[in-house]
A and B are shown apart, each in its own frame.
Chain A
Amino acid sequence: MRDMNGQNEQEVREILRSTVPRARTELRRDLWPEMLRRLDERPRRVAWIDWALVATIAGLLLLFPKAIPVLMYHL
């Protein structure tokens, strides 16, 4: 009886092996370069020329504070 069960099990195993394709366990492409690219991505930085513009505007408004309402109005 045990031999018959073992034989059936072997047959089922072979049928399954022949009908169900093997799972593809390998990656279809290398994900590591993309991971490195993500790691290299830095948050957006403000250019130095833009900081210079901010400083110039701030300096202008500090020198001429009475102009602030006019600038705000026209913005």
Chain B
Amino acid sequence: MNTHPYVRAYMGGIVVPTLFLLVMMTGYFVARFILKVPEPIERVIVFPMAIVPNLWGLWNMLYARLRQGRHLPIGLHGAILPLVLAPLGALVTLRFNLLAVGPAPGEVVYFQQIHLPYGLIVLLICAGVAVYYLVWKYFVNFFNEVLGIA
């Protein structure tokens, strides 16, 4: 298994988000079309579908490249990714008017339904970083080992 290390790294990186996306989409369709939850998420769902798995694959390719020299542990490497993804997701959500500031001071409104104070947003960012750290440390690392990258 000495050939095409970056292709293998890409494949190892996209497994987890691709599987997770299937679960997410199932939950979304059940909520939106069966339980009739009035949140028009379908306008922005293309972002996680198209961008996230590819970015995970590319991020793992970057890890495969960096690990030839001094490098961060894979968990910390993965924990940096949400700091790239979250602003991109927020931009897309803003663009489609599904994220707005206010009306009350110190809060944002997601999907015209969910009011979140700034403090909770900060906590959610920390939680996202922690989730990515754990997933990369245990799951992506496992697939990298299977594919002979780690």
Residues of A within 8 A of B (CB): 46, 50, 53-54, 56-57, 60-61, 64, 66-67, 69-75
B15 at the interface (CB under 8 A from A): no
Asked if B127 contacts A57 (CB within 8 A), the reply is yes
Residue among A54, A57, A74 with max Cβ neighbours from chain B (10 Å):
A74
Asked if B116 contacts A71 (CB within 8 A), the reply is no
Which residues of A have CB within 8 Å of B120?
Answer: 64, 67
A57, A69, A72: the one contacting B130 at CB < 8 Å is A57
Interface SS of A by simple majority: helix
Q: Kindly provide the distance from the CB of A55 to the nearest chain B CB, expressed in whole angstroms.
A: 11
Residues of B within 8 A of A (CB): 20, 24, 27, 39, 41, 44, 48, 52, 82, 85-86, 89-90, 93, 110-111, 114-116, 120, 123-124, 127-128, 130-134, 137-138
Q: What is the bound-complex CA distance between A60 and B121, given in angstroms?
A: 12
Asked if A73 contacts B137 (CB within 8 A), the reply is no
Which residues of A have CB within 8 Å of B48?
Answer: 73, 75
Residue among A53, A57, A60, A70 with max Cβ neighbours from chain B (10 Å):
A70
A56, A60, A69: the one contacting B114 at CB < 8 Å is A69
Q: What is the bound-complex CA distance between A19 and B83, given in angstroms?
A: 73
